[in-house]
Amino acid sequence: MTDDNATTSRPDDSLEVFKDAFRRHAAGVAIVTARDGDGAPVGFTATSLASLAAVPPLATFNMARTASSWPALSETDQVIVHLLGLRNRDLARRMAGPAAERFAGDHWTDGPNGVPLLTGVTAWMTGTVVERLPVHGNAVVVVRIGTGGVGEDDDALLYHDRRYLRPVHLDD
Amino acid sequence: MTDDNATTSRPDDSLEVFKDAFRRHAAGVAIVTARDGDGAPVGFTATSLASLAAVPPLATFNMARTASSWPALSETDQVIVHLLGLRNRDLARRMAGPAAERFAGDHWTDGPNGVPLLTGVTAWMTGTVVERLPVHGNAVVVVRIGTGGVGEDDDALLYHDRRYLRPVHLDD
């Protein structure tokens, strides 16, 4: 191994390795919404959204099975995945805050299949859950994209080392 | 639905919906490496890396089962996941280019378990594959993080709408 890589190797503590590495990783910010068995809106901010395939259009996100939204996500097949812009960072914070406050307000409407649709996002797409892979106390959720739309353009909202950021082009 | 959201809704074409939405999504850039059954190095640039859990430390990435690296990933349990900084964008391009050229050079060494370790990255971590979830022609791969290290700090490398970018803090 080169000096470059060995600098602060911590072979005995995989949690520290994991934290140190992901501290160097930046992610786009999304919000997933659904309805629970009683029809109540649920949702959460996710930094794990990834595309899986274009044909058919599939995406994945990860969540803890202790999350307030998991009971709904474990039952319903219908979600909406929202992509966030810089203007949506208060929304990102709200949907990562206390569950009871996430839908208190007029920042959402009923979208397709009655799933909560957040207003003012840069893009949204309906997802039909096609797989839920439990791994320890967590789950990987795979959705097939259906319909959707885009809002006004904006810088993509990023999350990195517990802060929100925006991307800039390298030739700027 | 509000005007905000309905602007360019395309309910009849889920592929266009998917493309439009992910065009608004920015992602951090990682490279996954492994050895195939003959011991040859394989690897690929991934924009789907996501954390799944911290305890135990788990991460996920997605790939096509038509990818040149898939035969190796379908057999080996040992990978290294590298996190990239701005200085690594040529490396990101190389590992997304022709498979035969990805390891031609001295930009890597043997890491733990003989898995190719790319030099000069901002962080790396070994992963033991604990799940491979096939979905259509693709796979979600779940790895448990073991050891690793960090390199010199750098802006996280981002990929957005087919371009590389860097993040800036909102108070900059």
Q: Which of A7, A17, A19 sits opposite B151 (nearest CB)?
A: A7
Task: Please name the residue of chain A whose CA is at the shortest distance from the CA of residue B26.
Answer: A28
Higher-pLDDT residue of A4 and A156 is A156
Number of other CB atoms surrounding residue B164 within 10 Å: 18
pLDDT at residue A131 is higher than 60: yes
Q: What is the pLDDT of residue A9?
A: 52
Task: Please name the residue of chain B whose CA is at the shortest distance from the CA of residue A112.
Answer: B1
Query: Which chain A residues are Cβ-neighbours of B130 within 8 angstroms?
Result: 135
Cβ atoms of B30 and B92 within 8 Å: the answer is: no
pLDDT at residue A33 is higher than 60: yes
Mutation site for A-interface testing, chosen from B2, B4, B29, B145 by largest number of A Cβ within 10 Å? B4
Mean local confidence (pLDDT), B75-104: 97
Tell if the CB–CB gap between A62 and B60 is shorter than 8 Å.
Answer: yes
B55 touches chain A (CB under 8 A): yes
A150 forms beta bridges with: A123
- Per-residue pLDDT tens for B32-57? 999 999 999 999 999 999 999 999 99
ipTM > 0.90? yes
The structure's pTM equals 0.93
Closest Cα to residue A79, out of A152, A148, A158? A148
SS3 B132: strand
Q: What is the pLDDT of residue B169?
A: 86
